[in-house]
């Protein structure tokens, strides 16, 4: 199905949408928030991929102009390059106008689990620098509580991060350094 909304209402009752169709519809809706000239955070995963495809198409059609994309993974970098989306990084563009990405879980308070696709750290860097963050999910990602899917929980570990944690802990005990 080509998810070019709106769908004709007469055929709605006969449509059976796949999970991928739903991802695409959500992704295309998010892309409507993009304006020419924006610096965009480009998410990772099977849902965000539809958004990146759509951005590439709108650029080719001349409906979007002067977009700069900041990818959140090597895979997204390669996809965007193949679509001709101009790319940059946070050093050159420390403020991102809008980021679009999927999520692994969303609870009723809009808390998220992200990173099951393996790009948690870069996503946090890019999406933490954005003015607006649009998260696109199909209903399979909705949970009553974080962890409710019962699937793996992405965990981030690095020497520098544990260093930060140790420093915070030391300060809590009233020590410096």
CA distances from 177 to 18, 60, 161 (A): 53, 52, 15
By the rule CB under 6 A, 103 interacts with ligand R5P = yes
Place of tokens 């991802």: 23
Angle at 128 between CA 20 and CA 155, to 5 degrees: 70
Residue 116: name the closest of 95, 141, 86, 83 by CA.
141
Q: Which segments within 45-126 are labelled E, that is strand? A: 68-71, 96-101, 105-106, 112-113
The residues in 122-161 that bind ligand R5P, with binding defined as CB under 6 A, are 123
By the rule CB under 6 A, 101 interacts with ligand R5P = yes
Q: Which stretch in 9-17, 37-45, 87-95, 126-134 sits in contact with ligand R5P by CB under 6 A?
A: 37-45
Min CB(140)–ligand R5P separation in Å: 8
* Interface size with ligand R5P, residues (CB under 6 A): 18
Active-site residue, 2 included: no
Place of tokens 């989306």: 85
Output 29 or 118, the one with its CB closest to ligand R5P. 118
Give the one residue of 47, 59, 70, 127 binding ligand R5P; rule: CB under 6 A: 47
Which residues contact ligand R5P by CB under 6 A? 43-48, 101-104, 114-120, 123
Which residues are the active-site residues?
123
């Amino acid at each position: 199905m080509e998810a070019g909304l709106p769908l004709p209402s007469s055929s709605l009752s006969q449509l059976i949408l796949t999970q991928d169709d739903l991802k695409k519809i959500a992704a295309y809706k998010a892309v409507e928030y993009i304006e020419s000239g924006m610096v965009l955070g480009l998410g990772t995963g099977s849902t965000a991929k539809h958004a990146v495809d759509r951005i590439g198409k709108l650029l080719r059609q001349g409906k979007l102009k002067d977009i700069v994309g900041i990818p959140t993974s090597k895979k997204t970098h390669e996809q965007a390059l193949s679509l001709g989306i101009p790319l940059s990084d946070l050093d050159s563009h420390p403020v991102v106008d809008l980021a679009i990405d999927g999520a692994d879980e969303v609870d009723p308070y809009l808390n998220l689990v992200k990173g099951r696709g393996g790009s948690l750290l870069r996503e946090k860097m890019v999406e933490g620098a954005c003015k607006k963050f649009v998260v696109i999910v199909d209903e399979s990602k909705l949970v009553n509580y974080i962890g409710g899917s019962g699937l793996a929980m992405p965990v981030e570990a690095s020497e520098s991060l544990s260093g930060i944690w140790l420093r915070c802990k030391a300060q809590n005990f009233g020590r410096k350094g």
